[in-house]
Structure 1
Amino acid sequence: MADTAALDAAPIAAALPESRDDKALQRKIFVGIAVLLVAAPMVLYPVYLMKVLCFALFALAFNLLLGYGGLLSFGHAAYFGMASYLSAYGAKVWGFSPEVAILLGTLTAALLGLVFGALAIRRQGIYFSMITLALAQMAFFFALQAKFTGGEDGIQAVPRGNLFGAISLADDRTMYALVAVIFFFGMLAIYRIIHSPFGQVLKAIRDNESRAVSLGYRVNQYKLAVFVLSATLAGLAGATKAIVFQLASLTDVHWSMSGEVVLMTLVGGMGTVFGPIVGALVIVTMETYLAQFGAWVTVIQGCVFVLCVLLFREGVVGLIARKLRRPL
């Protein structure tokens, strides 16, 4: 039912045709984001900003699968979390430099996405979603039982190390610069995928799969490709987060993490380029500044989600795009 509701709320912004003016507007937004990334640590706490950026990249990766591929996964925490574990383990036990540790985590997520995706795409709709959830739960119990993950304690005190063996990441501002660069280029990569011929085929499959099949497209291959791309970018976010917070834990691979990224995407605007960033900002800010309410934070998040569904099903950025009649 959740699958149907999510896909029925077809993002108006994604359906709007793009003109040269629209692309110019999007380029200006990219420039604006770059300026904000540079200026933000002068005003806000770098650790908070790094958490926002990691989850924003995670939400962007998930939105690539749901908003443009039309595939609702309930198991994206598997790629985020396992990448976090491998990145942390590589940095702490094997002594890898941060860039190699992050690459290791990202490749782990890509491989896991290839295996899980090959199994999941055999089914459609809610069955696809349930398979992704089941596979993610397998990954969770593996992380719980495996010795290298540290069980319930996780992998703690992960060294940030020196970037390329020369730049120390011990300082939060230096670490922030690396996270900002990873986020920005990850966002650009997703934007390029969306606006490539591959991305156009994905939208066709999302809107009318039967017609795409009749036109000769190998639909399952496209689904698997976008699944792997989404898992890889989610892994990049998870691997980076492990280095930033020097910790990989069961929270990263728990099913609630999968639900959280769905919430970020829908609140920001499914099928929009910039919506997941806004959604991640809203949810992470709520978790950070409402932490004093304890378990009530989850209830507050639920209320926000219900309000978003009732008042603007397109999400925050989706609503703005519809008002402006510009794809964002």
Structure 2
Amino acid sequence: MSTATDTTGTAADQTTPSRLSRRSPARWVLLAVGLVLALSLPWFVYPPVAMDIAAWALFAVALDLLLGYAGLLSFGHAAFWGGSAYVAGLVALHTGVPFPIAVLAGAIFAMLLALPIGLLSVKRSGIYFAMVTLAFAQMLFFVVNQWRDLTGGENGVQGVPRNFFGIELVETEPFYFYYAALPLILAGMWFAWRVVHSPFGRVLVATRDNPARARALGYDVERYRVMVFVISAGLAGLAGGLFAISHGFVSLQEVSWQTSGKVVLITVLGGIGTLWGAIIGAGVIVTLEDQLASSGFEGIGIITGAVFIIVVMLFRSGIWGTVTNLIARRRGLKPESDDIGAADSEQGL
């Protein structure tokens, strides 16, 4: 079996998108810059908006783990973001536990919800997988809307507390809440990074690029896909729970198909299969929406849609993907877009 492992590992090394971060000092420079930006964000951006950027960034990273590295496009990830938001909000509201515990409860719920959905969905690929996940998400939307005694229906769950071991500054000030929640965001992103750069991640990329060959080498493709689906759901749930606690309420918007579409837009805008691109895309979209809403502009979707179209037409690999491709060409490496494009064609995306 060592031959199979070597063969799969070689293929994965040739197609893993994060070339810039492998065996290079640039990795540590990027990590340091990213950490500094995360720590300084609420000093330059309104703290609640900074928290939104961080939550959506983790949500997009979770989707990119599934889309960029497993080749599976989910249109139903709002089920895990929103499902976790409701669970975290209800746990915090009715038990009074510190918000990290409520958020972790929501993330666990998202993973448990993802297991049966993943088992039924990964048997399909391409647009069929996307439609199956969307159908499950709409089922959850219907349940949440009808179960008014628990979820509040159209009124949502209101008055969600930000309990944090009795520390009043964290519980009342968004600025300090951001720093209390940031370790959970960073832990989620670190975990996604470890998954991508582990043997599991290399096999995952191999199953994305050539499922038939991966099966021939002895790998259970469906099992790997279910595992990454559950991991992705857990990270999305972690982000959704923090988003709910930050805002102090949970609404039907969190489980709507528009939320699934927004995170796909963010991921594609930043660059599929890069992780960094998801973070950049979240920063661009959330900041743009906040600026437009503050100015009183009502057609926010028109502007964000136009930005998305322009980026996709001019920068097919997304913002971060385009940057890394230019660096790769300068260093004489194969551009990432070739690998991702080949994988997408094979998956029917």
Q: TM-score, normalised by structure 2?
A: 0.86
Contact 1:308 1:315 in 2 (8 A): yes
Query: What is aligned with 2:244?
Result: 242
Give the CA deviation at 1:136.
0.3
The verdict on how the C-alpha distance between 1:247 and 1:15 changes in structure 2, with shifts beyond 3 A counting, is closer
8 Å contact kept, 1:265–1:276: yes
Could you report, residue by residue, the CA deviation over 1:29-79 in whole angstroms, capped at 9, with x for unpaired residues?
A: 111111122222222211110000000000000000000011000000000
1:287-328 Cα shifts (integer Å, max 9, x gaps):
111114554111111111111121111000000000111899
Residue in 2 aligned with 1:40?
A: 41
Asked if residue 299 in structure 1 is aligned to residue 302 in structure 2, the reply is yes
Matches within 5 A, 1:200-215: 200-215=202-217
In structure 2, relative to structure 1, the CA distance for the partners of 1:295 and 1:186 (3 Å cut) is: same
Residue 234 of structure 1 aligns to a residue in which SS?
A: helix
What residue is the counterpart of 1:5 in the other structure? none
Displacement after TM superposition at 1:256 (Å):
0.3
Is the CA contact 1:51–1:284 (under 8 Å) kept in the aligned structure 2?
yes
Taking the aligned partners of 2:299 and 2:20, their CA distance within structure 1 comes to 41
Q: 1:135-176: CA deviations, max 9, x gaps?
A: 00001011101121100010011111124x556422212211
Q: Hey, which of these two has a bigger chunk of helix by percent?
A: 2
Distance 1:13 1:195, change over 3 A: closer
| Contact in 1 for aligned 2:87/2:105 (Cα 8 Å) | yes
Q: Following TM superposition, by how much is the alpha carbon of 1:204 offset from its aligned partner in structure 2, in angstroms?
A: 0.4
- Alignment partner, residue 281 of structure 1: 283
Aligned equivalent of 1:8: none
Give the 3-state SS of the residue equivalent to 1:161 in structure 2. Answer: coil
- Measured in 2, the distance between the counterparts of 1:60 and 1:48 equals 18
Partner of 1:122: helix, strand, or coil? coil
Cα shift at 1:242:
0.8
Q: Which SS does the other structure have where 2:172 is aligned?
A: coil
Deviation at 1:273, TM superposition (A): 2.4
Rounded Cα–Cα distance in structure 2 between residues aligned with 1:321 and 1:28: 15
Structure 2 residue aligned with 1:9 = none
Which is further off, 254-263 or 172-181?
Answer: 172-181
* Matching residue of 2:120: 119
Match of 1:195 among 189, 194, 197: 197
Contact map agreement 1:59 1:280 (CA 8 A) in 2: yes
| Structure 2: unaligned runs, 5 residues or longer | 1-14, 337-349
For the residues of structure 2 that align with 1:27 and 1:19, how far apart are their CA atoms?
10
Task: Using structure 1 for the length normalisation, give the TM-score.
Answer: 0.91
Q: Does 1:324 align with 2:339?
A: no
Q: 1: distance between equivalents of 2:256 and 2:263? A: 12
256, 259, 268: which is aligned to 2:258? 256
Give the aligned residue type for 1:144.
Answer: N
Relative to structure 2, which stretch is displaced further, 208-217 or 295-304?
295-304
CA, structure 1 residues 53+142, in 2 after alignment: closer, same or farther (shift >3 Å)? same
Separation (CA, whole Å) in 2 of partners of 1:117 and 1:19: 30
Match of 2:342 in 1: none
- Confirm whether residue 71 of structure 1 aligns to residue 72 of structure 2: yes
Q: Distance in 1 between matches of 2:18 and 2:207?
A: 13
Q: How does 1:1-328 map to 2 (within 5 A)?
A: 14=17, 16=19, 19-21=22-24, 24-146=25-147, 147-163=149-165, 165=166, 168-291=170-293, 292=295, 294-325=297-328
Aligned amino acid, residue 175 of structure 1: F
Question: Per the alignment, do residues 319 and 267 of structure 1 end up closer, same or farther by CA in structure 2, a change over 3 Å counting?
Answer: same
Work out the CA distance in 2 between the residues paired with 1:173 and 1:166: 13
Contact map agreement 1:158 1:246 (CA 8 A) in 2 = yes
User: Residue deviations 1:205-235, cap 9 Å, x none?
Assistant: 1111111111110001000000000000000
Matched-pair contact (CA < 8 Å) for 1:161–1:170: no
Q: 1:102-138 CA deviation, whole Å, 9 max, x = no partner? A: 1111111010111211111121221111100000000
Q: Please, which runs of 5 or more residues in structure 1 have no aligned partner? A: 1-11
Mapped to 1, the partners of 2:286 and 2:249 lie a distance apart of: 18
Identity of aligned residues (%): 43
Structure 2 CA distance for partners of 1:14 and 1:287, relative to 1, 3 Å: same
Q: Let me know the Cα RMSD of the aligned residues.
A: 1.9
What residue identity is the alignment partner of 1:20? R
Is the 1:88–1:158 contact (alpha carbons within 8 Å) kept by the matching residues of 2? Answer: yes
Aligned partners of 1:106 and 1:306: how far apart in 2?
Answer: 33
Task: Work out the number of aligned pairs and report it.
Answer: 315
CA change 1:151–1:197 in 2 (3 A) is same
